[in-house]
Amino acid sequence: MNNSIRELTLLQPDDWHIHLRNGDALATTVPHAATSFNRVICMPNLVPPVKNADDARAYRERILHQLADSNISADRKATFDPRMTLYMTDHTSVQDIEIAAKSGIVQAVKLYPAGATTNSADGVTDILACADVFAAMEKYNLPLLLHGEVTHAHVDIFDREKRFLDEVLVQIIANFPILKIVLEHITTSDAADFVLAQGNQVAATITPQHMMLNRNHLLLGGIKPHLYCLPILKRETHQKALLNVATSGSSKFFLGTDSAPHATDKKEAACGCAGCYSSPTALPLYATAFDSIGKIDKLEGFTSRFGAEFYGLPVNTNTVTLINTPMQVPTHYPYFDGSTLTPLMAGETLPWSIKG
């Protein structure tokens, strides 16, 4: 690598998997997301969850209200477009799907196996019993977004994603061959290979942490609660495989930060919450990851083209410029009620930053 200043102008990225939360959290999360992204797919695991089109519309209004109140630039305000998801439960009906599909604001339906992750208690208990709902999603071309882990108590946490592929996902795909599916936040080479082996209706998002870090970062030399997310970081071979597919130019893999804020004290605890907060520095993080193996030329497809293509949306027309001027990730951000958020790689220096 040479030492000259390099700049990289990208079509403005979209984040196809983000947790903005609700209430007072929005004052922090919305401007952070809107600074880097145009479209964001807002996860529905609020308390209570976003279960139908009316909930989604009301949630979107709260986000847009917060956007209007924030002091980011008028340009960024104008292009920010939160796209909503429904939280699938055992009670989701075909009618819920029909109404959502026609609402114009619901982009997808999210399935959490019950108990798999943060705020998933209302998730689906018997996925293969949801045939009529999947059929309706197929009919209306509404994608299914998966937290792809089995939840049986006896299955080892490091095996849960692979078991989901073999025991659940193969059956969903076999029964609903044209249903669009995104396997969210993939963590293993098994998941990457699985997605590559499917038709173009199956894609995956990859977070910055899963392509930059592995379980040694989480557990060696002291436990690092801010690197704990679900699905949990895996071994280095998986991390490398994810970085390789993300930078391969395959349009099946695209940006989804899974930025998932939990106040610092809720993570630095005897029973710490799962989730990494990465949204404000996601672009420098991904640029750093791609550049680490000489693949920065593949960044724009991953950040700004493949997700839009998968969802059948136009690519953005505005741009953002990254520059290889180092930046320090803040040690924390103010959150609500006097708490803070500690971001992914807090205090570390990244070689790339956003220009201007």
Ligand X SMILES: NC(=O)N[C@@H](CC(=O)O)C(=O)O
Where in the sequence numbering do the catalytic residues fall?
258
Q: Is there binding between residue 341 and ligand X (CB under 6 A)?
A: no
Q: Which is nearer to Zn ion, 147 or 226 (CB)?
A: 147
Closest contact distance (angstroms) between CB of 261 and ligand X is 8
Binding flag, residue 264, Zn ion (CB under 5 A): no
Q: Which residues are annotated as a binding site for substrate?
A: 19-21, 45, 147, 230, 262, 274
For Zn ion, the closer CB: 59 or 352: 59
- How many residues comprise the chain? 356
Q: What does the alpha-carbon distance between residue 88 and residue 120 come to, in Å, rounded to a whole number?
A: 10
Q: Work out whether 135 is an interface residue with ligand X (CB under 6 A).
A: no
In sequence order, the 6+-apart residues with CB closer than 8 A to the CB of 86 are 44, 50, 51, 52, 53, 55, 56, 92, 96, 97, 100, 106, 108, 109, 110
* Footprint (CB under 6 A) of ligand X, residues 86-125: 117-119
Which of ligand X, Zn ion, none is residue 35 near (CB under 5 to 8 Å by kind)?
none
For Zn ion, the binding residues in 89-148 under the rule CB under 5 A are 117, 147
- Taking every pair of Cα atoms in the chain, the longest distance, rounded to a whole number of angstroms, is 58
The option from ligand X, Zn ion, none interacting with 118 (CB < 5 to 8 A, set by class) reads ligand X
213 makes contact with ligand X (CB under 6 A):
no
SS3 for 312?
A: coil
Q: How many CB atoms lie within 10 A of CB 96?
A: 20
CB of 160 to ligand X, least distance (A): 12
208 binds, among ligand X, Zn ion, none (CB under 5 to 8 A by kind): none
Choose from ligand X, Zn ion, none: what does 106 bind? Cβ within 5-8 Å by kind. Answer: none
Q: Which of residues 155-214 bind Zn ion (CB under 5 A)?
A: none
Q: Helical H runs in the chain?
A: 26-36, 53-69, 74-79, 94-103, 131-140, 160-164, 170-175, 189-197, 208-212, 215-219, 236-246, 264-267, 282-292, 299-300, 306-311
Question: Would you give the distance in Å from CA 136 to the centre of its chain?
Answer: 24
Q: Return the residue of 25, 67, 229, 243 that touches ligand X, per CB under 6 A.
A: 229
Single-letter amino acid, residue 344:
L
| Cβ distance to Zn ion smaller for residue 117 or 187 | 117
Q: Could you list the residues that contact ligand X (CB under 6 A)? A: 19, 45, 117-119, 147, 229-230, 258, 260, 274-275
